[in-house]
Structure 1
Amino acid sequence: MSKEISNITRRSCLSLLLVRAASQAMSAQQSAPVGATTPAAAAGPSVGAASDGARASQPASQYRIGPRDVLAIRVTAPDIVAQFSSDAMEVDECGMIPLLSVQNEEQGQVRAAGLTTSELQEQLRKFYTKYKRNPQVVVKIREYNSQPVAINGAVMRPGQFQMRRPVRLLELLQFYAGGPTERNGGRIQIARMPVLGECASQQQVAAASNAQGEDAYAPQFLLLNLSDTLKGDEKSNPYLQPGDVITLPEAKEAYVVGNVLRPGPVLLKDDHLTLTRALAMAGGLMPDTKKGSVRVIRVDADGGNRQEIPVDLAAIDNHKAEDITLRPNDIVDVPVSGGKRLLRSLVSGGASSAAQLPIRVIP
């Protein structure tokens, strides 16, 4: 299991880097907006380093502007003031936007990140009162680029999404990703980048890394049980943060062959799938099974060592032997008595051939 999580971790880190790079060039038309038409959640994350308490108190319908969002700003007094207006102004990596056509001012920029459009409108209105009498400001978000999340793995509709409001994991999973597939492994992993602070310089990041260790700015990985998330458990249904990469690993497989109703792969959705449970998942034993000659064929992950484990199902039924826990790629071979197998194959073959003959009426 540790090796599986390690592999998932490496894949998620790569996915996270790709998401962060892609989000810089992604517009609202190129990604699916989350929260544009569904009811708002009760609370959630905001852009910036707001505390959990502050986030919980924010209205769910209020989107907080963030870096790389594109704004449309219109200033009127009472006619439109073209030199103060812009159809497309991108918030920079530090969360700032320029104050247009302002000269000889100490303040050439204003912080937009972390504000709602209403709050930014009021800030700009107060600033422009020194240039225009009773100016009116309207701010609209043209492109949502600052809160990307991605979900992949065993889901119906994997993809990348832009959040426009606080969104919980369960909402993204069920309403936007279509829910988990049958091949899910029963776990959810969230790769989460730490909050570095807006526009942190390379020197600041390096200094913090030296002070706190090399892993100070490494991604944080949250491991959750899918069943708890689907129940809406508070701890397993967190609010998502910008840059989160959610992965539902696919379940590993073991194989049941031989004298069972439905031979084939069985999914190992937990670490405790026993031999008898796997046989039940395969439909159970067929008649004439040699219960004392069942075997589990186990091969190492690298394909090196091959081990055959004899199993007596009758002894397991009588609590005289341990029920073996299966591992990924185990093969359970369920034998049948040789003579009875031949007889049954002849009978079934004859019945199959007879079924293909034309039906005639005997007068």
Structure 2
Amino acid sequence: MLLRKCLSLVLLAGLAGCATLPSSGPTGGQIRKSATAPIQGAPIEIVDVGQLADIPALPGVALPASVLPQFTPTPTDMVGPGDVLDISIYEAGVALFATGQSAGQQGQLTTPGVQVQRLPPTRVDDAGDIVIPYVGKVHASGRTTGEIQTAIRKSMQRLSQNPQVLVTLNQAITNSIIIGGEVARPGRLVLQTNRESLSDVIALAGGYRGSSKDLMVRVVRGDVTADIRVNDIVENPALDVRIRPGDRLMLVDDPRTYSVLGASGRVEQESFRRSSVSLAEAIATAGGANPNVGDPAAIFLFRYVHTADGKEIPRVYHINMLHSSAFFLAQKFLMQDKDVLYFGNAAANQPSKMIQLISSLFSPIVTVTSAATVLK
């Protein structure tokens, strides 16, 4: 008898210590109450998705062509600071750069035929100038190789008899971009046509590494930055922006994810398997509402949205999967990066949890009582 009283006291103490029953989260009613009448902060809007008009449209994505500064395509042989030029000077008759042995008028050397003098590789300095022997400085930045040839030739006309000049690019710095990150060959890439698109330069760099759905390209042009997902370029050719000399590209591994919480088949963070994932696919991937504790009528999606004035506010979307129309709506509702999909607990399951808890507490008493009876 004394043993039973002791065990009863232990049982009462255990029940008194249970302020709340075990739960994976709030019920649908508790979410609505806490959102519309929060203890702190402003109320949160809850949208009941019951028809197509309630499904939020995807946020408008600004096309890179409208974000990045646009310039007229420059010639492929445009020269700028840092470029290295190969310069060859051809002379006939009285040659300024000839290496022959016979002397002509004013000490110039004369040799039969045409003489060619190849100058050492000449780098364009920070001021955009190059230095030619006997001529001096010649401005090269912003000019094509043909225009530089003409400028050198004109400067030599008073020094040589009908000189001819050939200028070619040895190292192109101005007409190049920098590409790095998840590509096979990161580094400096020279644009051969100045009409290469984003997909072109990725291919010229050896292609991307990893999964295209997880890769994002960051294009930096001057002080402006545009982020483009590799997978989206295939589905929307307008995102395949044309690349300009001086651009900097970085491919980064940035997978889009959403979180699954509450009374679902499993709680986890899930990655987007394709460019777009519907709410129906997300629910199926999560295993649906747990049949023991979940409520299919209380499925919520938590998301930050941007208002017309650019502010970011929280919003909750509710869908009742007990209605047949919800299965069609869930196919049109598209998930977004960093969404939180929550499966509410069923309020009707709370009494069963209480019974299970009491049963687990009484089981030791029944076992001890049975053992004591057997001993008697």
TM-score, L = length of structure 1: 0.49
Bigger-Rg structure (1/2): 2
TM-score, L = length of structure 2: 0.48
